[in-house]
Structure 1
Amino acid sequence: MSASQSKAQPSEPPVPQGLRAGPVYLDYNSTTPVDPRVTEAMLPYLTAHFGNPSSGHHYATQPRDALARARRQVADLIGADKDEIVFTGSGSEADALGVIGAVLAHQSPGEIHVITQATEHPAVLEACRTLHRRHGTHVTYLPVGAHGRVDPADLATALTPRTALVSIMTANNETGVLQPIDELATVARRHGALFHTDAAQAAGKIPVDVTRLGVDLVSLAGHKIYAPKGIGALYVRSGVPLEPLVPGGGQERGLRAGTESVALAVALGAAADLARLEINSGGPDRLTGLRDRLHRRLAELLPGRVTVTSPPAPRLPGILHVTISGVRGDDVLAATPTIAAATGSACHAGSPEPSPVLRAMGLNRTQALSALRLGAGRWTTPADTDRAAQALAATVHALLTGAR
């Protein structure tokens, strides 16, 4: 990290200890460091306020109040009511509860039709496959164009009287492409289908308002917005029926049993508050500037070799997803230890096969294997982007020279 990152000014967010040394971190879309202010907020609920929030005595009061406050903070981030927030153990669990829970709420899940997309997050894809395998639920996987977006006309064509649920993620976790969720949700609503969106990559980075979007179910993940891993949430619009995947004592309105982790819920609430303030103070514009600066530097240093995978589709402000012709992305990163980045989703890390997302967008195998996902975040500086571009370009030149 640059010196400017290790010497934050009083008006700047404090730098996490883990970022004060080591490579330039450009993998914020895989996971974010825990913001020290989030850590500070959760600590009392690991020490002093240990009680079970469902108990009826003195030691439950502070945890119960903190849980309610955290629920309200998460709701405020996405324009929901606090009673519509269900805490989960992860974004993937929120996806499973939203998708599987919505289908199992029907008496005959085998007669239900679900629609998703070819480039959806693995948590949703596996939930759909599970429904098909166990219950015979029919699933349609919509194609995406070269820019990675679902055409609302394709959704309208795919809908049938049996369609109960449509699940399309807000922002792709590899390319950062934003889907036209409001248009897609409108199409689904006209046909009487529920609409679920995995907003783990988008919420806290861009404005996400459940009323404006017209959605019924929204998944969130704490570790994408500077809270710890192991906490997520599902927005469930009032009146939407769900079958719990974890039945038990009735916590979380009976939708997710198990004594809540108050400390982790508090962390997610604090992170949601910070994210909301950052969005309102120009955070997305700052990240867009960093993303575009990194792209310019790479293009200057590697003329004719750098291609953004999804223009002109709208994208998340922090993700630069590019292909670099003539080299493999994993070779570039392996030979550039001063940069911490990814070739694609961390959900597929270690796989020698090209990204299914990129193949669905029409990239051939060679192009898909040349991809890099570079993600800026809260503590990324302009100096970091310049250093990253120079280091990556030097590696590419070395690999190309060695290949001759």
Structure 2
Amino acid sequence: MKQIEQQGRSRWLDILLISTRLGLTSFGGPVAHLGYFHEEYVRKQKWLSEKDYADLVALCQFLPGPASSQVGIGVGVIRGGLLGGILAFLGFTLPSVIALILFALVLQSIDVADAGWIHGLKLVAVAVVAHAVMGMAQKLAPDLQRKAIVLFSLAIVLLWQGVFTQVSVIILAGLVGYLLYNEQKGSDDVPLSFPISRKFGAICLTLFFALLVILPIIREAVSYNWLAMFDSFYRAGALVFGGGHVVLPLLEQEFVPGGWLNEEQFLAGYGAAQAVPGPLFTFAAYIGAVISGWQGGLLATFAIFLPAFLLILGTLPFWNSIRRNPHIQGALMGVNAAVVGILLAALYHPIWTSSVFSAADFVLVAILFSMLTYWKLPPWVIVVTGAVGGTILSFFS
């Protein structure tokens, strides 16, 4: 019994340390985060298989909220239960939360958005996502039919960009996969372990919808600034599809017209959020800190990420039986190929288009990609090299 407890503590410590390292080094936005997660959790730690990871990414693409954070929470839950999910979230999120709260309180006069090392970290994201897409494509799109789904998904996502485009593409790919592979047999893979009961999952889903309905009503009945903040951040986190960049206009609409902060403060915080690692949803910590100090920053962080927690904890207990159903296996094969196409599209826009501006940028990306893919160097070495390389390039631009 004591040995089992020690193994549990060791596993939780591993989750916290690894997710914190990711939280300190994962630059480049949600798609880049999925690349970092893939490299660390799938390739290096082998906590779950390529297919399991792709299935988890597909699930989180369906859910509103920060998809990369939900994937991280899901990996933590799979590895270490509810506490594992909490630790994975804290490790990945707290570094940027702390940085943005400090920026709101102390560093608003410093402009880091155009720093050379920031540009270098954007180039790191290009290499990381390219590496992840290459690895996933080999496993998830081995035949011509799934390669066609990848191409279809890539084209649709790039040519018809919209809030629900990704979700629509995944649904269509699932239907195509079901038709192409409708005689697919049930998977022989070992089932993923979700140490969360379906009853607990149902409670989480009920709480998600209850808060969405009840908080605005209470806000109107009780004039209390902290409750109003909590409601605004919770709704922003609950109603956003498409990742962190989509939440920015919602937050601006909630807080700038009402006088919580001015446009200049909002844009300064947006620049700082681009400069720090971790999820872009931590921009909420900056807004909360501007409004009500560090306590407001922590409240805002809790409120905007709470929907993501409730949704992933609510759906995971049911996901295992769904994904292993023989009738759904074919659909998931199509969905996983679509995920590759979506990631490939994101590699071009916004990651490539916002990062690679010259031949020198491309050369640095090639070097970073080779270091990661062929020399098998750890991600933190890639991050440091990218930051140094970006700083050097800034002297010649």
Name the TM tier (shorter chain): under 0.3
Identify the structure with the greater strand proportion.
1
The normalised TM-score by structure 1 is 0.25
Larger RCO (alpha carbons 8 Å, 6+ apart) = 2
The normalised TM-score by structure 2 is 0.25
Identify the structure with the greater helix proportion.
2
